[in-house]
Every structure is written in C-alpha cells, then in structure tokens.
Structure 1
Amino acid sequence: MILTWLYVPGDRPDVVVKALRAGADAVIVDLEDAVSASRKEYARAATVELLGSPHQVPVHVRVNALDSPWGGADLTALGRLGGLAGLRLPKISAPEQIACVAERTGGAVALYALLESALGVERAYDIARAHPALRGLSLGEADLRADLGVTAEAGLDWPRSRVVVAARAAGLAPPAQSVFPDIRDLEALAASCARGRSLGFLGRAAIHPRQLPVIERAYLPGPAEVTAAEEIVAAARRTPGALALPDGRFVDPAMLAGAERVVALARRSVPVPS
C-alpha cells in the first residue's frame, strides 16, 4: 500500500538514485515542471536508462503535457518500457486524452491523471472511467489555484472532495494529496495531511525526503483507532451480518470495510521479520 510518493527531477540522475533509497514507497521521476525546456531531451534519455536497470521501489514518470512539444516523444520513449510502474499525465481535462495515451501505450502501463484546471475537476468522473488502464486521479493544486484564483486553503476543499468522490465512484484507489510546497514547515505539513485524511485522501506526494516520515505518520492509524478497528473485525468474524458491540456501537458491512482498511494500514507499519 503506497502512502508516500517522492518527486525527483528527471535531469538529475544522481538525485534520482538518492531518491530511490530515501524511504518513499514510490518515486516519481518528473520530466515536466522540474525540468527546463533546454534539458527535456536529456531528462527523457536519462530516465529511459534508469528504467533499464532494476530498482527496489516502484518508479513512476510524470511526462510532459500531451499538447506540449515534448509530450508525444515522452510517450514514445517510455510508454512500453519494462521497469515503469506508472505514467503520470499532467493537465488532463478530458477522458479522450486518457484513451489516446492508453492506445499509444497499448494499455501496458498504469496511467494516473493529474487534474489541474476547473474543466478537469468538472469532468473528474468521466476521466476516472475513461479506460481500464487508468488507475488513479490526483490534483495538481498549484496550477488549479491559479486557474481558480483561489487564495485561501478552504477554496480547494470542494475540488479535493470532488476528486475523492470521482475516484471512489469509478472504483479507483483513494487519491493521494498534492505536494506541500514548504519543505521546512513540517508542522504545517502534518496539519495539512490530517485535513487531507479527513477528506478521504490516502497518502501524499512529497518534494523532499524530510517530508516522508511526516506524511506516513499522518496517514497511519493511531493505537486507539487500530484497537477499535480490530474489535470490529473480530466481532464480525464471530457473528456474520449486522451486530452491536458491547459498548453500543452498531456494526454494518460499511463499518466493517472501514475497519478492515484501518487494520491493513496498521499492518503496513509493522516491520517484516528478517
């Protein structure tokens, strides 16, 4: 279960190597915003070379926008490579874009749509069900803020809820939160993650390794939450169907599903014996 995604510039192979050892659940090699126009081709070639070698964590690549001068070449070079866990597609605003990429890649790689405009958010559900190769949605909040003219954090609550609902309705995994741009303010990051978790997100993208443990702690359930969930799961195993616990809590299938998710998250944090 992936909780932490670490972005790293594609034109910095040395930094990519370090990122693969930084403790993230997955690494996203960025060919888009983190790479200047003059280094796009170098970044693409370096990423192709990287994907030709084995690595210990899943590697995703954020390609350039499909209508940019580099997007098509990115898909041609990367779309069918082994070693690629997923393609992150920026500035998606229509389901046809997903279908087009899936056709170009032969459906051989998992696709993730980044919604970064009002139009993309409005079409979130249609995008989420555009093609079986699409495995997830997320927001590109920096561009979305600019598009909407949002100046307060609360202004993004509706788009955030929209993408969570669209993903769920389409049968996709819960979205991960967008990056938190201040790598120094870890307290604010923790508070933002707590808010994201309350909205239904699961995990978060990071732009610096120091953010990873904060994100993981925020999204892993606490001891009391785990104990309550384990009680529900154990009771459901003893008595199938709806039931009431001794403390008065009524357990139905929806509550059981939520409890099982909490237990699964908690087990993720338990070290595997060597």
Structure 2
Amino acid sequence: MTATTYLYVPGDVPQRFDKALRSGTDAVILDLEDAVAAARKDEARGLVAEWIANCDPDGIELWVRVNPGALQESDIRAVAGPNLTGIWLPKVESARDLEAADRILTGCGAGDAQLSALVETGTGLLAAPELARAPRLRFLQIGEVDLAADLGIEVDDSAEQLLFARSQVVVASAAAGIEPPVAAVSVNFTDLPAFEADTRRLRRLGFIGRACIHPKQLAPVRTVFTPTAEEVRHAEDVLNRLSAATSGVGVDAHGHLIDEAVARSARRVLARAR
C-alpha cells in the first residue's frame, strides 16, 4: 500500500520518535535539516541513527531528511541500515545529486533504500523531468516555502501562485512512471477543515499523500486520500459496465460515456481503497 501520511519529527528530540511511530501515520520522517539547529547537527545524526537501528518499525516507513552540502554524506552513511525506508534529499537541482546519494547508499549496502527529491529552487523545478528518472527515486516533492523565496513570488491562501510548479512535478512523475508526488507541509494545524480543503485541492491536482508537521493533521490527510464508499461503488460500477459493453465504450449510471481512460481512473480509486 502506498503511504499517504508522512509525519515529520525533529531529529534532536528523541522523546518524540516512539510517539511518532505510534501516531497512526504511515511514515515517519526524522528531520536532520531545518528542524535542527546548526550546533546540534552531529548530536541529532547520532540520535536518529541509533533509534533507527534499534527500533521496530512494525510496517511503518522510516525516512530521514538529510542536510544538503557537506553534511549530506555523513548523514546518509549514519542512518543507512535495514530499517531505513529511504532518504529525503533537500534542494535537489540535478540528477547528479540523486546519483551521488545512490552511490553512497550502494556503498553502505543499503540496496533497498529509496530516495525522494525535494524541489526547492527554480533550477530544480526545471530539472523535474530529469530528477524523476534518477536511480532509486520513488517520488518527487516541492519545498514550497523555499521555492517561493527562490522565485520571488508571494503566496496567498489560495496558493494559485504555485499551481505551475505543482503541475510540473505531477507531469514529470507521470511521464517517468514513478509514484505521484507527495504534497508539501502546511503550518496550519489548528483550522483542520481549512487544512482538509487545501489537501483536497492538492489531491485533485494529482498528489498522493501529504507531509505533516503535527499529528492532528494525519486524520484529515487520510480522509482526503481514502476513497469514500460511494467513490468505490462508482468505480466498481464503471468497470462492470465497461466490461459488459459490446464495444470499447459504455455508459455509466448517469448516462455519461466511459472508456479505457475512465476505467484507469476507476482502477486507481480501487487501488487506493485497498
């Protein structure tokens, strides 16, 4: 099953690690980058590496967001191991960044570890098609605050200023045949109806899942990305009607034309429901 909820935890707050694992999230992201002050980077790396090596994930994905630049190799080497699902790479601007991480993981014997690239600059956004085809890449993401700063754009509550960037990573992912991108975090964990509505807009754009900064955000994200009973019934009905049609097209319960493209969407709904 593809994860839909990804919960961030600061890498220098070990008392939250086990709590995150039991929060109901599909995946935990231990953050060594923005959540950790420069003076505590080495301490956080050691704490995260020790916890990952000794915990029991019990089916929960464990990701680590590492630092860019000089600290990155040390971060990856420290956390590579059997329990690690993969690495979130910040500020990726070319496939070379992912290839370098791939070589490090290979050298550590982490053959199954995956990568996710965070697109946070204009250069990275234009390279999205290239990034999507890099080794070990499971899905793309956008670091929206960093990207907005790099582009010099002002984002309002509608976030329409980010529509082009969001659509770019969705298209690049589909073209490369990788998983759809995971939506970026929102700092809103008090107005949950607004957060859910925002997440629903991202689902309609083609994102699957969302990174969260607070456990309160997990339930709305799961609600958005779990098909309703009505959506499941409609998808099943579409597939049954198309299967029974005497040609390559059919008509759904509302009198609308259905064909293989509609069937693909229906299968996607049922896959998410499972």
TM-score normalised by L of structure 2: 0.91
- Equivalent position amino acid for 1:149 in 2: G
The yes-or-no answer on 1:113 pairing with 2:114 is no
The answer to whether the Cα contact below 8 Å between 1:241 and 1:252 also exists between their aligned partners in 2 is: no
| Separation (CA, whole Å) in 2 of partners of 1:126 and 1:188 | 34
Shift of the alpha carbon at 1:237? Answer: 4.2
The yes-or-no answer on 1:11 pairing with 2:12 is yes
The residue aligned with 2:181 is 175
> Aligned ranges for residues 73-222 of structure 1 at < 5 Å?
73-79=74-80, 81-106=81-106, 108=111, 109-131=113-135, 133-152=136-155, 153-222=159-228
- Equivalent position amino acid for 1:201 in 2: F
Q: Give the aligned CA root-mean-square deviation in angstroms.
A: 1.6
Q: Give deviations 1:44-82, integer Å, cap 9, x for gaps.
A: 1111111212222111100111x1x32121122223x11
With over 3 angstroms needed to count, the CA separation of the structure-2 counterparts of 1:215 and 1:104, relative to structure 1, is: same
Q: 3-state DSSP class of the match of 1:82?
A: coil
- Equivalent position amino acid for 2:153 in 1: V
| Separation (CA, whole Å) in 1 of partners of 2:168 and 2:194 | 23
| Separation (CA, whole Å) in 2 of partners of 1:241 and 1:200 | 30
Q: 3-state DSSP class of the match of 1:112?
A: strand
| Separation (CA, whole Å) in 2 of partners of 1:32 and 1:99 | 20
- Equivalent position amino acid for 2:103 in 1: E
The residue aligned with 1:2 is 3
Q: Give deviations 1:75-94, integer Å, cap 9, x for gaps.
A: 22223x11000100000011
The residue aligned with 2:46 is 45
Unaligned runs of 5+ in 2: none
Shift of the alpha carbon at 1:100? Answer: 1.2
| Separation (CA, whole Å) in 2 of partners of 1:246 and 1:28 | 42
| Separation (CA, whole Å) in 2 of partners of 1:144 and 1:12 | 27
| Separation (CA, whole Å) in 2 of partners of 1:150 and 1:216 | 30
Q: 3-state DSSP class of the match of 1:7?
A: strand
Shift of the alpha carbon at 1:3? Answer: 0.8
Shift of the alpha carbon at 1:147? Answer: 0.8
| Separation (CA, whole Å) in 2 of partners of 1:154 and 1:38 | 37
The residue aligned with 2:26 is 25
- How many residues are aligned here? 263
Q: Give deviations 1:162-185, integer Å, cap 9, x for gaps.
A: 000001111110111000112212
- Equivalent position amino acid for 2:18 in 1: V
| Separation (CA, whole Å) in 2 of partners of 1:124 and 1:61 | 21
The answer to whether the Cα contact below 8 Å between 2:12 and 2:44 also exists between their aligned partners in 1 is: yes
Shift of the alpha carbon at 1:241? Answer: 6.3
> Aligned ranges for residues 203-242 of structure 1 at < 5 Å?
203-239=209-245, 242=248
Shift of the alpha carbon at 1:227? Answer: 1.8
| Separation (CA, whole Å) in 1 of partners of 2:242 and 2:65 | 42
| Separation (CA, whole Å) in 2 of partners of 1:41 and 1:149 | 32
| Separation (CA, whole Å) in 2 of partners of 1:45 and 1:241 | 62
| Separation (CA, whole Å) in 2 of partners of 1:99 and 1:246 | 46
The residue aligned with 2:61 is 58
The residue aligned with 1:252 is 259
Q: 3-state DSSP class of the match of 1:93?
A: coil
Identity %: 40
| Separation (CA, whole Å) in 2 of partners of 1:101 and 1:11 | 23
| Separation (CA, whole Å) in 2 of partners of 1:138 and 1:149 | 19
The answer to whether the Cα contact below 8 Å between 1:242 and 1:250 also exists between their aligned partners in 2 is: no
TM-score normalised by L of structure 1: 0.91
- Equivalent position amino acid for 1:105 in 2: L
- Equivalent position amino acid for 1:162 in 2: Q
Q: 3-state DSSP class of the match of 1:52?
A: helix
- Equivalent position amino acid for 2:93 in 1: S
